[in-house]
Structure 1
Amino acid sequence: MTKSPLNDSFACDAGTLQELMAGKTLTCPCCDGPLTAEKLARLLGDVQRLANDRQEQAGPASNGSAPAAGMIIDPHAHMISRTTDDYEAMAKAGVVAVIEPAFWLGQPRTNVGSYIDYFTMISGFERFRAGQFGIRHYCTIGLNPKEANNEALAEAVIDALPRFLVKEGVVAMGELGYDEQTPLEDKALRAQIELAKEYSLPIMIHTPHRDKRAGTLRTMSVLKEHNFDPSRCVIDHNNEETIREVLDQGYWCAFSIYPQTKMGSERMAALVESYGPGQLIVDSACDWGVSDPLAVAKTARLMAQRGISADAIRKVVYGNALSVYGLNGEMDEQHWLAPAAIDQRTLYEGNSVLRGGQTPRIEEPGRPVDELRIV
């Protein structure tokens, strides 16, 4: 018989119980028949599983003096394409903050006004919408490499960027980098690296989907040419091909947990076990495609099941992202440890997150730290 650390419960097999019950008879409480060792073992196993499930759902106790291990930042989530149901599910899973990188829309934009409206939305209304569901929203601003190949339009967009780089809640420039690794993409990347330096902003790098390793190495070479500090730069969408060199050059190394592509939760857990949590960051990159806004929470839970320490998990799903994206002072832990009240009657430029007849959610400021758990 072995004693479980959970609630001092017992877990044992039928053979052990047969030895324990030698010469003794137990009666089943429901039918008054004999309770065999096999039946008792199965009953104890069922009870232990219920205790384990309860412990897992409740999470470790918190004394309230520090953030709970279950608090999560998703530092790459295209929430403009997600629903309010996603915000509610993310908040329930322990996500306290998201970062929304400037992205492409799925089809080419044709004029600079389209970009301006988009940048305005991710730094304005989307920030408001997230807050109405209990999540702090930040964004990064930049010209995505996929849209850098229309030279005249790209130049006009880059000229418009400075007015957004100084907005509240903008924590970095991004996503920058390469897609097809063309000369025009290179030109746009270099111009935006210089803007990041001018405005003292970290950088979020998009690594290409094709020829990833070569594109990642080329990106880091360009950053080095421009004397950009690796400790202020996140290289995202990494995999096993790129992790070693990204870490060796001193960059933050991020991974997108994206179904069937990029990186899966099992592989991510294995990388944390192999390389340690020091410079690793996990994100969902959820967007308008097949993707999962709960990918970070699910990966954290899997890592816990595999025995990775709570401190290591906290670093890769929370602490590391806060360290780099908090560098310009726009992202602060107190934003979610002591949040503003939620009042869905509030309007943003005359607009509400509600529709006619819906009951507004109204909550006093602050959520108990104990409620923020990976579920």
Structure 2
Amino acid sequence: MRIFDPHIHMTSRTTDDYRAMHAAGVRAVVEPAFWLGQPRTSPDSFADYFDGLLGWEPFRAAQFGIRHHCTIGLNPKEANDPRCAPVIDLLPRYLAKDGVVAVGEIGFDNGTPAEERAFAAQLALAVEHGLPALVHTPHRDKAGGTARSLAVVADSGIDPSYVVLDHLNEVTVDEVAASGCWMGFSIYPDTKMTPDRMVRILQRHGTERMLVNSAADWGHSDPLLTRATGEAMLAAGFGDDDVDRVLWRNPVAFYGQSGRLDLTGGQPGDAPGAAAPAAHFEGNSILRGGS
């Protein structure tokens, strides 16, 4: 089982996690920029963080045979802090870099006007840079926040196929499915989704435009729940090809729209620290590019 976790915060995880993920079949990850728990007080602290996502973390992941890419953005929670507003002005410099495969996480937290302004501005940057967008749906009033997110996406003019709305559940999936956007689901202990609930959604909606992630971070989370979801799919009667589509080919297709996805290593069977073999997936092609 090959796994691409399309939303995981490895900066918050340990090398033991990387080792366990590799053993479970994880060969690629995307790490979205997010709130670190402690409020940041200046744009300079964001610049240091973004530099780490583009430099240190890919190097750390590579030691365990895992390809690492990131998304860059001003997260909704900190969009409310006027000290962080100038981060928007930093983004074009980072959105031009090879390792960045989307703008994100962006969207709503409390649904404030400041959040909406930052959301719209960053969707405009996604359009300008030809990048997908990763949208965080709020933890409170998820149905209302998801509907409002879809309205901002529609107003932006971005192609819906370039947008994933993440942290969805049974209440919000239908509306997002109808919008043409991708549907993201976080399999996360105690909150968000479980593997069994995810399987029921897949049974109802199919595997197209579906992204399954662990969203593992500094909270009570588990970076192996993507694997658990694949196993639950098999137990429920899905085939190996269905599992491969959800856990590998779908994230490749979504983030591959950036033209910067480089999967030249981190394939099933690699030993940690081993030389990376050539990429192998549909058509034996390698999605890579950027400037």
Distance 1:110 1:319, change over 3 A: same
Query: Which aligned segments of 4 or more residues in structure 1 are displaced greater than 6 angstroms?
Result: none
- Give 1:367 shift: 9.0
1:363 aligns with 2:274: yes
Spell out the pairing of 1:222-261 with structure 2 (5 A cutoff).
Answer: 222-261=152-191
Are the equivalent residues in 2 in contact too, given 1:243–1:253 (CA < 8 A)? yes
Query: Secondary structure at 1:121's aligned position in 2?
Result: helix
Query: Secondary structure at 2:30's aligned position in 1?
Result: strand
Spell out the pairing of 1:1-375 with structure 2 (5 A cutoff).
Answer: 70-151=1-82, 153-337=83-267, 362-366=273-277
Distance 1:239 1:338, change over 3 A: closer
Distance 1:308 1:179, change over 3 A: same
Q: Structure 1 CA distance, aligned partners of 2:167 and 2:44?
A: 29
TM-score between both structures, scaled by the size of structure 1: 0.72
Q: Structure 2 CA distance, aligned partners of 1:362 and 1:329?
A: 27
Q: Structure 1 CA distance, aligned partners of 2:273 and 2:149?
A: 46
Which residue of 2 is the match for residue 372 of structure 1?
Answer: none
Are the equivalent residues in 2 in contact too, given 1:338–1:365 (CA < 8 A)? no
User: Number of residues paired by the alignment?
Assistant: 280
Residue deviations 1:338-363, cap 9 Å, x none? 99x98xxxxxxxxxxxxxxxxxx753
Q: Structure 2 CA distance, aligned partners of 1:155 and 1:263?
A: 32
Q: Structure 2 CA distance, aligned partners of 1:319 and 1:85?
A: 26
Distance 1:110 1:204, change over 3 A: same
Q: Structure 1 CA distance, aligned partners of 2:126 and 2:219?
A: 29
Are the equivalent residues in 2 in contact too, given 1:78–1:285 (CA < 8 A)? yes
Q: Structure 1 CA distance, aligned partners of 2:257 and 2:278?
A: 25
Are the equivalent residues in 1 in contact too, given 2:66–2:265 (CA < 8 A)? no
Q: Structure 2 CA distance, aligned partners of 1:204 and 1:192?
A: 10
Residue deviations 1:308-345, cap 9 Å, x none? 12222111111111101011111144344599x98xxx
Residue deviations 1:174-205, cap 9 Å, x none? 00000000000001001111111111110000
Are the equivalent residues in 2 in contact too, given 1:254–1:281 (CA < 8 A)? yes
Q: Structure 2 CA distance, aligned partners of 1:327 and 1:315?
A: 16
Q: Structure 1 CA distance, aligned partners of 2:98 and 2:268?
A: 18
Query: Secondary structure at 2:183's aligned position in 1?
Result: strand
Distance 1:249 1:191, change over 3 A: same
Distance 1:260 1:231, change over 3 A: same
Unaligned runs of 5+ in 1: 1-69, 343-360, 370-375
**Bigger-Rg structure (1/2):** 1
- Give 1:365 shift: 3.5
Are the equivalent residues in 2 in contact too, given 1:130–1:137 (CA < 8 A)? yes
Distance 1:124 1:174, change over 3 A: same
Q: Structure 1 CA distance, aligned partners of 2:276 and 2:68?
A: 17
Query: Secondary structure at 1:145's aligned position in 2?
Result: coil
Identity percentage of aligned residues: 50
Q: Structure 1 CA distance, aligned partners of 2:132 and 2:102?
A: 5
Q: Structure 2 CA distance, aligned partners of 1:281 and 1:365?
A: 25
Q: Structure 2 CA distance, aligned partners of 1:127 and 1:154?
A: 25
- 1:364 maps to a residue whose letter is A
Are the equivalent residues in 2 in contact too, given 1:171–1:330 (CA < 8 A)? yes
Are the equivalent residues in 1 in contact too, given 2:27–2:268 (CA < 8 A)? no
Q: Structure 1 CA distance, aligned partners of 2:81 and 2:16?
A: 36
Q: Structure 2 CA distance, aligned partners of 1:363 and 1:293?
A: 22
Are the equivalent residues in 2 in contact too, given 1:276–1:312 (CA < 8 A)? no
Q: Structure 1 CA distance, aligned partners of 2:14 and 2:165?
A: 27
Query: Secondary structure at 2:16's aligned position in 1?
Result: helix
Q: Structure 2 CA distance, aligned partners of 1:336 and 1:365?
A: 6
